[in-house]
Amino acid sequence: MNTSETKNTPSTLNVNQLLLDALDKRWKNYRAELKRCRAEFSNEAVHDLRIAARRMLAIIQLLNSISPRPRLQKLNRAFKDQLDEFDDLRDTQVILAEISETIQELPQLQKFQYHLQSVEEDLLKALRKKLKVIDLFDVSKRIRKTRESLEAKNDDELALQTIQAVDDAFLITKQRHGWIDSAQPATIHRVRIAFKTFRYMVEIIHPLLKEYPLENLKRMNDYQSLMGEIQDVEVIMQTLADFPSRANSFDHEPVRRYYERRHAEATSAFIEDMNEIDTFWRPAPDQPFPWEK
């Protein structure tokens, strides 16, 4: 390892304990949210369970990036499959929240709102049944084995592997960032997916980084939200495009123009700030972090 890499590789904390604590905290929170969701099934409980599952997926992805194992890949698939079960409900609820804010301006959305409320009710019923039959036995066993492997890891080696995993996640994000074409929303969506993985990794490992600016955690969330706004409007536009065939009286044109304008505004807002990504991580392992300059 060269001198600059040694200088820029933080290893002042017990990395094993940091990762064990992150795994334990997220696993405990996930089980609590699942139990709560089964007991009081509500929109808030479903939302909190989805976030808990996403944070479990983040720590598993980080550990798998550090040291790939079949058990971690199976855990990754288990939580990814579970999150996929939330997708349609999440999209429906995003649209309903948006409509509630714009329906006075676009009253023709009312029939669309009624339709989506019916869809939401069906999705909630289906999800409630699926959550009742989730069996955590195999997941618990794999997490226990993962803990045992972490406890046996050499701390210095693990520190290097952990930071390298984030370097790799950032490199993937930057590669996709370089392919952005504002006329092709899919290119922005691909950056958002990669950035989300990178961001969650940083949330876990930032205590390893000397003088890490905590405000960066919020700034990364805001940056991701800029891309999320584009995706949300696209979901609304696609769902609207599928609706008129079932409601001939629905006046689609003014609504389409409204959301096309919203989409253009959201895209412009992201493009204006897209290079902020360079303030979140170093460009290469032998380079200083932005906050060290």
- Cα–Cα distance measured from residue 290 to residue 276, given in angstroms and rounded to the nearest whole number: 11
As a whole number of angstroms, the distance between CA 211 and CA 166 comes to: 17
The pLDDT value given to residue 1: 41
C-alpha 138/C-alpha 103 separation (Å) is 46
Give the pLDDT of residue 243: 81
Largest CA distance in the chain: 70
- Contact between 56 and 79 under an 8 Å Cβ cutoff? The reply is yes
**Contact at 8 Å (CB) between 278 and 290?**
yes
Q: What is the pLDDT of residue 108?
A: 86
Angle at 219 between CA 217 and CA 224, to 5 degrees: 100
What SS3 class is residue 257? Answer: helix
Residue 33 CB neighbours (<10 A)? 19
For each of the domains in the chain, give its residue range(s) and CATH number, in order of start: 3-292 (1.40.20.10)
Q: What angle do CA 132, 32, 42 make, to 5 degrees?
A: 60
Reported pTM: 0.90
pLDDT tens string, the chain, 293 residues long: the values are: 444 444 444 544 689 999 999 999 999 999 999 999 999 898 899 999 999 999 999 999 999 999 899 999 999 999 999 999 999 999 999 999 999 999 999 998 988 899 999 999 999 999 999 999 999 999 999 999 999 998 888 777 888 899 999 999 999 999 999 999 999 999 999 999 999 999 999 999 999 998 999 999 999 999 999 999 999 999 999 998 888 655 556 677 888 899 999 999 999 999 999 999 999 999 999 999 999 98
- Residue 191: the pLDDT is 98
What is the DSSP code string of 109-162?
Answer: GHHHHHHHHHHHHHHHHHHHHHHHT---HHHHHHHHHHHHHHHTS-HHHHHHHH
The DSSP secondary structure of 154-204, one letter per residue, reads -HHHHHHHHHHHHHHHHHHHHHHHTT-BTTBHHHHHHHHHHHHHHHHHHHH
* 193: nearest Cα among 83, 85, 283: 83
Return the pLDDT at 260. 95
Q: What's the confidence (pLDDT) of residue 249?
A: 62
Distance CA 7, CA 39 (A): 50
Task: Please enumerate in sequence order all residues whose Cβ is within 8 A of that of 113, keeping only pairs 6 or more positions apart, or say none.
Answer: 96, 99, 100, 103
Both tokens of residue 3?
């001198």
The token pair that represents 270 in the structure block: 């992201």
**pLDDT value at position 11?**
46
Question: Which residues sit opposite 22 in a β-bridge?
Answer: none
